[in-house]
Structure 1
Amino acid sequence: LVCDTIHKLHDIGRAGENDTSHYKPSLNSGSIMQTYEDGSIESSISDDRINYGVDLPSLSPENEMPKYDMAESVDNMSGVVLETFIVGRRFGEKVELNLGASISLLRDPDNVKDPNAVKVLSADSGCCKVLGFLPRELAQYLSPLMDNYCLSFEGHITSVPEHALAIVPIQIMCQKRMSHAEKENYDLQVFKSLWKHAFHVVESTKTCPPSMTKYQQNFFLLIQEVLRSYPHLFTHDEKNFLETFTSLSDDSQRLFVRLYTRKGPSFRMSNISYPEISDCRQAVKGLSAAGYICSIESMKELHDDDLKDILNLLTVSELREILCMLNKKCNRGKKKQDYIAFLLSSHEDGLCPLLPSLVLEKTGACIQISSTAKSLVWRAERLFFLNGEQDLSAFLLVNLGIVKYPTYNCLISDPIFLDRNDLLSYEEALEVAQIMDESLDENNSELVLRCIEISDCRLPSSFIKATQSSSESMATFLSYFSASWVYSKVVLLGVSYLEHEHRYNDAIDLLKRLLTNFTSDGRRGYWTLRLSIDLEHIGNLNESLSVAENGLVDPWIRAGSRMALQRRVLRLGKPPRRWKIPTYSESFKRKITEVHVQGRPLNCKTGIKSRFYSEDGEQCGVEQLALQYYAGEGGGWQGVHAESGIWLTIFGLLMWDIIFADVPNVFRTRFQTAPLDMETDSFYGVRRSIIEPHLQKIHDGVAEEILITSWDSHIGTACRGVNWDRHSLSELRSAVSCIGGPCLASICRHLAQDYRSWSSGMPDLLLWRFHGDYSGEAKLVEVKGPRDRLSEQQRAWLLFLMDCGFNTEVCKVSPLQISA
């Protein structure tokens, strides 16, 4: 089972994801703490006051903070042995190494590569020659201990490697014992933190020695944490298979990770070469013996299913040569895939029996990752990242400083998958979803209908099983990892397909089953709206009206979907069907202020975004034209065209501590930009006791201070909705200052209560202008070009903002009328 990303299984009824996070490069990868509710795992983040970052520390028990008596350790440091390595041998002097040879440590603060560098000297040479350095991860903690607490270390070599530049195992011990007077003068808390983290680094290198490449360590960490966190989801043989990876040679481990992250599935041995792998052929033998790869060197090993993959390894010229050898001429085209399709078709028809042997002559020996390794590592990735969008490259982005993840605690009490059967059902649903996705892309109606049929049949049973297996504490967001959730998305894709094919009766049946099975779901608004519309398509107006009316008493139908249903009721519910006018009809009579702006059009064609000439003659959209109007004759406003982006950024910065607060089960991996319950009702409900006091501070005028503090503390850190590059701190401060505390608090509460329904459809422009140095006003403007009209979601936002006291209006841009 291998599926990388399910592209089309998104919430169709939602106007937009609006996750506009952009990240600035940062050298600090950030770190998190994982704590089980019994407190069994300690913090792995460094003391805030000293700001020493740990590069994605492992959360596994083997690599957790060692449990020992810190007070006793501080008093008797001279008895603590630290096992580590000499690295960077190529930067040292040529000295013959001997087992048991004495060594000492010396600080190297002028090192241009690392100011925390610690040299390892040969104490037996008489002239203290430099053998190399301590690993960077350990030096960052020992160097301040040596500098600020005057500690010194000595030791000896415990093993001599065969290669002159290989890492050298050593043992070191502290040679100084702190006196009581020194303890009183030093900051003992900082000292303990440094010593504790140094000890942690030493323990962690026992499973990930410095000889490992970074990507090798990352893969190790992924496998270890998955086996530790989800042992019940793997069989005994599967666990043994994954654990055997640790016994492979460094070359075999590196080659597997390299191949797994490459586009495959087949590889020519002649094209495999990596500088960090000394012997690729020997590495292949080790992987083949362990079952991680399959070799294809002869006709016996080449199956028909593999032939297409092997053909894709050939160049266009090589494919032409094979055609010439077979005396065949391809009339389908001259592209690579045309040649491959022609050769495969000829082989299947029995016209090219020699094709496999000719292909192997061209490619030489080939290898593939085995199906067992592929499926188990894929499962490990999904369990580790808990989504289909991240893979091992997420580690690389952190290592390169491209992405910095926020700091939070993982408090885990409920498992995501109760047993292996739950996981297998979920994986099977994902496979159906992938086939559905590919079938829609290829317009394969037969497979699309088959996927709809399978998902529809399994929907009720999988939903009942998920409901029965969920404990009372099992939050709604954890159901996203159930087979029923995936099948519901496949069924919804099926609804869209059937509607496109005008098979409204079939679409109606599916929608009714979705609404019956999922009674507490934020997608019910879209489902109900589609059901009402489809019923109208087949002429069943009375049922269409009843569905819309019943939807309006459903607490899960909100925002734009609710307003769309209200509009349908008003349109369909006229006499004689309904005589009584609903009370909400008054909301549709509310007037939203409109202003009209004219511009010189570049194009105003239907279906194409309207373009105009700006005041300076440059091409621009209707939003830029409106900004120019408001900056000039429209009232001297400053502002930005940001739609929902600036609001989600402001919300993320103002609510940062709330978003990443300690809540059980919502943070489960180190690569999250938001809690798992961010888009559910539980986000506000669980945190209400801390949200309301925080909103009161915003209401009372502390928002700008919170914004500045959050910006300075977290700049560049990934957070759902926060776009660090699009808006400057100056713009955000101006907006927050002019909006005012009461309105800001109302919007933040609204988003906290229902982020999913309200994170899209906000007005296009946020404008502000100051009256003096400290006071100002803000205006929100929805801009519409020729023939555009407000969506129900946009209207819902404008009415809500008006109720909050905002100055809102709609700016309609039209072509300049030129008189004859």
Structure 2
Amino acid sequence: MMATAVAAVTLPADYYWQNFELMLTSVAERYLDIFPAEQQRALQCYQSLPDKSKMLLVRLLSRKGEWFRLDKLHYREIGDIADAAQPLLCTELLQQTLPPLEIWFGAVTLAELKTLLHDINDPQLSPWRSKQQLWQLLQAAPQLPTQLPQWQQQQGLVWLQLNCQPLLELLLLLYFGNRYQDLSQFVLSDLGLQRFECYALTREGRAYQSSDELQTALSLAALAANWEQTTHQKMPIVLADWLAQLPAPQDNPLLERRRQKLLLQLGRAAERQQQLALAISLYQQSPAWSANERLCRCLEKVDSQQALAAVIALGKQAQNEAQQQTATRIFTRLSKQRRVTDSSQVLPPFQQVVPYKPIEISLALLPNAERRVELLTQDYFLEQGFDAWFSENSVLCGLFGLAFWDIIFAPIVGVFDNPYQRAPRDMYHADFVARRQTLITQRMAQLASGDKRILQQHFVSKQGLVNDWVNWQVFTEPLFKRCISNFSTEFLLALFQRILRDPAHYRSGHPDLLLFAADGAPQFVEVKGPGDKLADHQIHWLRFLADFYPAKVCYVDWKN
């Protein structure tokens, strides 16, 4: 099946406004009854505006910052910006005010700065003075605060300040449910660059059910943004201040996950500040693996007996080999201190990760600066008569995505916020399987009977739709047919069970190449260029795959 080319699309001049209205309507239908009063008022003000004023507001909300020079705003589809701004000023969604001097300085020109300095104190201006030098002169001018507004009026400079960003922040939070998607997502869809699965967005399925939950969501989002800014700028972290802002434990699983993420970050900060008692207390409030691992490491420094009990619990919590290894290594250190000799008596057999050395092959290839080492190795195997595919993580993930496509996008409460999701909100959390256990059990039974039709049906009916597990550019029809014809039912079942155990962890680390011999027999090859080494998770995948098909690591050296 060949992918069809996307026809050129011309967006209407007011596309951004139409998209904003679409977002607003969707959010209002699901959440208006629990909107904060301030945002309800802002929404009512917006809805009372003439169209041109609405378009101007959306334009400004889509720009960076909150202050704008009126004379710098030009939008052909809006026309007279001053006329469009007047209703916004009347409703106080905009206000006319002077910005902080730093922002003001960034928006004025060198010529305007010289005019201002001349009006204030008539300095001896040299033509070589830079903008920064003039800024220093301005800062030293005592009469600047009083004369700047008058000078602005004389120059006809009008500044507009947005006064309704909380409304946009609320709409984005409720519509996208995350902090990395914004209004640009609409454009990708409008241009036909992305097509998404269809699923119902209902009030019953919304993420927050009360105004209290919504307010907590806003508070946690603000805390997360402040934390990101604080750590990025390497500002001092006063833990008492942060803890005072942290909400109480939440019944809503989504809010509790966000709260626990902040707990983990605060715990790490407490560790760095050598406040181990506080760090231990914070980690004990979270059931997450990462928090319990840090708890073990902190207890290891202060109380080896408590640490031993904690690491045994950690071992039972492990969902993948990396976690198994971590628990075993901590236990080994502690057992030496406590003189525990038989780890099998306290750590379940599942935790005993036996060292594994995969089959190795070596190749000497001619270097080619224009092709990756994986592609050069693929070329070698093609010359040897194999049907060789550079697929990396796309094949095993793609098979999983196709087998469980309808289950991934099943109508579960609180996991879909908008029509532009690659996966449900809980895809990579522990409760993904638990909330769909019946559907998953039924699908595994269907596959166990040897019935692979569901994969074929989804490959055809979902072709080109966005799914976080399926890379259509790599997982093409010829490769899919190869896989579906040659992978055994036993292998597929084991593969899916492995991924379901920890989807976030097991979606990466797969071998680079998938080979098919003349008789269709598959084998996997991880490629390592000169000086490159196998990572632990790659070794674990090779070990798993070797139970079903040849799985090797190919070390490549360059020919002279």
The two structures share one fold, judged by TM-score above 0.5: yes
Match of 2:53 in 1: 252
- Which of 23, 46, 53 is 1:222 aligned to? 23
1:234 has 2:35 as partner: yes
1: CA distance, partners of 2:432 / 2:513:
27
**CA 1:437–1:320: 2 relative to 1, 3 Å:** farther
Q: Is the 8 A contact 2:30 2:202 kept in 1?
A: no
- Which of 279, 293, 296 is 2:94 aligned to? 293
1:454 has 2:241 as partner: yes
SS of the residue 2:201 aligns to = strand
1:678 has 2:427 as partner: yes
- Which of 505, 511, 521 is 1:776 aligned to? 521
- Which of 220, 236, 248 is 1:429 aligned to? 220
- Which of 358, 362, 366 is 1:615 aligned to? 366
2: CA distance, partners of 1:227 / 1:389:
21
- Which of 390, 395, 401 is 1:640 aligned to? 390
Task: Give 5+ residue unaligned stretches, structure 1.
Answer: 1-22, 30-112, 114-210, 297-301, 471-478, 600-613
Match of 1:751 in 2: 499
SS of the residue 1:364 aligns to = coil
**CA 1:344–1:562: 2 relative to 1, 3 Å:** farther
Match of 2:485 in 1: 737
Match of 2:402 in 1: 653
2: CA distance, partners of 1:286 / 1:575:
74
Match of 2:443 in 1: 694
- Which of 760, 767, 777 is 2:514 aligned to? 767
1: CA distance, partners of 2:93 / 2:400:
47
Q: Is the 8 A contact 2:515 2:522 kept in 1?
A: yes
1:722 has 2:473 as partner: no
- Which of 265, 273, 281 is 1:513 aligned to? 281
Q: Following TM superposition, by how much is the alpha carbon of 1:281 offset from its aligned partner in structure 2, in angstroms?
A: 1.8
1:713 has 2:461 as partner: yes
Q: Following TM superposition, by how much is the alpha carbon of 1:637 offset from its aligned partner in structure 2, in angstroms?
A: 5.8
1:243 has 2:44 as partner: yes
1:788 has 2:560 as partner: no
Q: Is the 8 A contact 1:738 1:778 kept in 2?
A: no
SS of the residue 1:275 aligns to = coil
Q: RMSD value over aligned CA atoms?
A: 3.9
Match of 1:166 in 2: none
**CA 1:28–1:514: 2 relative to 1, 3 Å:** farther
2: CA distance, partners of 1:738 / 1:320:
76
Match of 2:551 in 1: 808
Q: Following TM superposition, by how much is the alpha carbon of 1:632 offset from its aligned partner in structure 2, in angstroms?
A: 5.7
Bigger-Rg structure (1/2): 1
Q: Is the 8 A contact 1:739 1:778 kept in 2?
A: no
1: CA distance, partners of 2:118 / 2:310:
66
Q: Is the 8 A contact 2:296 2:307 kept in 1?
A: yes
**CA 1:765–1:485: 2 relative to 1, 3 Å:** same
2: CA distance, partners of 1:776 / 1:490:
49
Q: Is the 8 A contact 2:511 2:542 kept in 1?
A: no
| One-letter identity of the residue aligned with 1:790 | A
What does residue range 164-203 of structure 1 map to in structure 2 within 5 Å?
none
Match of 1:377 in 2: 168
Match of 1:416 in 2: 207
1:597 has 2:398 as partner: no
Deviations 1:10-66 (A, max 9, x none): xxxxxxxxxxxxx9975799xxxxxxxxxxxxxxxxxxxxxxxxxxxxxxxxxxxxx
Q: Is the 8 A contact 1:313 1:363 kept in 2?
A: no
1: CA distance, partners of 2:518 / 2:352:
33
What does residue range 350-361 of structure 1 map to in structure 2 within 5 Å?
354-355=147-148, 357-358=150-151
Q: Following TM superposition, by how much is the alpha carbon of 1:288 offset from its aligned partner in structure 2, in angstroms?
A: 0.8
2: CA distance, partners of 1:515 / 1:388:
25
Match of 2:158 in 1: 365
> Kindly, what percent of the aligned residue pairs are identical?
22
1: CA distance, partners of 2:319 / 2:138:
52
Match of 2:291 in 1: 527
| One-letter identity of the residue aligned with 1:794 | Q
Q: Is the 8 A contact 2:13 2:77 kept in 1?
A: no
Q: Following TM superposition, by how much is the alpha carbon of 1:253 offset from its aligned partner in structure 2, in angstroms?
A: 1.2
SS of the residue 2:77 aligns to = coil
Q: Is the 8 A contact 1:767 1:778 kept in 2?
A: yes
**CA 1:549–1:752: 2 relative to 1, 3 Å:** closer
Match of 1:388 in 2: 179
**CA 1:276–1:364: 2 relative to 1, 3 Å:** same
Q: Is the 8 A contact 2:513 2:524 kept in 1?
A: yes
| One-letter identity of the residue aligned with 1:399 | D
Deviations 1:295-340 (A, max 9, x none): 23xxxxx3xx63332322223554465566657799xx9987x569
Match of 2:101 in 1: 307
Alignment size in residue pairs: 551
Q: Is the 8 A contact 2:311 2:330 kept in 1?
A: yes
Match of 1:148 in 2: none
| One-letter identity of the residue aligned with 1:666 | V
1:563 has 2:325 as partner: yes
| One-letter identity of the residue aligned with 1:488 | Q
Q: Following TM superposition, by how much is the alpha carbon of 1:231 offset from its aligned partner in structure 2, in angstroms?
A: 2.8
SS of the residue 2:100 aligns to = helix
Match of 2:258 in 1: 486
Deviations 1:751-785 (A, max 9, x none): 2343123223x23324221333xx42232536475
Q: Following TM superposition, by how much is the alpha carbon of 1:247 offset from its aligned partner in structure 2, in angstroms?
A: 2.3
Give 1 or 2: higher strand fraction.
1
Q: Is the 8 A contact 2:69 2:160 kept in 1?
A: yes
| One-letter identity of the residue aligned with 2:419 | R
SS of the residue 1:312 aligns to = helix
Match of 1:439 in 2: 230
Q: Following TM superposition, by how much is the alpha carbon of 1:242 offset from its aligned partner in structure 2, in angstroms?
A: 0.8
Q: Following TM superposition, by how much is the alpha carbon of 1:252 offset from its aligned partner in structure 2, in angstroms?
A: 0.9
Q: Following TM superposition, by how much is the alpha carbon of 1:293 offset from its aligned partner in structure 2, in angstroms?
A: 0.8
Q: Is the 8 A contact 2:196 2:421 kept in 1?
A: yes
| One-letter identity of the residue aligned with 1:763 | H
Match of 2:196 in 1: 405
Give 1 or 2: higher helix fraction.
2
**CA 1:586–1:724: 2 relative to 1, 3 Å:** closer
Deviations 1:145-174 (A, max 9, x none): xxxxxxxxxxxxxxxxxxxxxxxxxxxxxx
Deviations 1:655-677 (A, max 9, x none): 22222233344334222222223
Q: Is the 8 A contact 2:321 2:540 kept in 1?
A: yes
1:275 has 2:81 as partner: no
Task: Give 5+ residue unaligned stretches, structure 2.
Answer: none
Q: Is the 8 A contact 1:639 1:767 kept in 2?
A: yes
